[in-house]
Amino acid sequence: MMRLKIITYAKVNLYLDVVGKYPNGYHQIESIFQNVSLYDELVLEDSCDGLCFSTNDKSLPTDRRNLVIKAVELLKNTFKINRGINIHLHKSIPIGSGLGGGSSNCAGALAGLNLVWNLGLSNDDLIKFARLLGADVPFFLIGGTCAVGGIGDIVNKLPFSGGYYIVLIYPGLSSSTAEVYRHNSLSIRRVRKGIEYYSYNFRKVLLELARKNWKRVLYNRLEKPAFNLYPQIAKIKDNIKKKIKK
């Protein structure tokens, strides 16, 4: 019986712009994802049959709404696995915080199941499965600092060494990414038709990042609709800005 512990890190968006909308309703983004040290823990243990999933967070769904469950079912059905698995998820990344906790857990489950069930999949193979499960999931199989395009599923590693600290403030609320994208205050910076990966503007952002001018690229187009939906977040930012000025 094999037992494995996987650490699944959170992420922040150092830069995020919305540059289009696909016919299926998903938005096209340009972003820079960055892993941070906040993490959840997944413990996977091989079992004779069935799936047993538990978590310390009672608010977390434990059915097919959970991406970890979807990852188990996807690999089990694809490779006709006749073994079971016991999974315990210890949550530290707040749910609905925009830190990618669910996607990170999903990526960790894919990587862990690959080892526990001895599937022999490469990381590129795992990324193909990740794209079937969620837009942000592929990033967490690469990690670090990445340029991200498409709906979040086009991921390219960036040679960037940070040398800075990120302070995360959690106001105790769970936000809906879908609601933020649907809000009428979201403006889309349209790029020239036919540009599928990164626009000229985004390439300039990458250049500034390479020059370590990271302060000049911090931007998030979702901030305005998020503030409209959750005014308490805007208030927190205003209070921080006032204290910095002092």
Give the catalytic positions in this structure. 11, 136
61 C-beta neighbours (distance < 10 Å), count = 15
Task: List all residues 6 or more positions away from 63 whose beta carbon is below 8 Å from its beta carbon.
Answer: 69
In the block, residue with structure tokens 């998820």: 89
Are 42 and 213 within 8 A, CB to CB?
no
**CA-based nearest residue to 98, from 176, 17, 9:** 176
* Cα 160 from Cα 134, distance rounded (Å): 25
In the block, residue with structure tokens 């340009």: 30
Give all strands (DSSP E) within the chain, no chain letters: 3-21, 27-47, 51-55, 84-90, 145-149, 154-157, 219-220
* Cα 199 from Cα 150, distance rounded (Å): 11
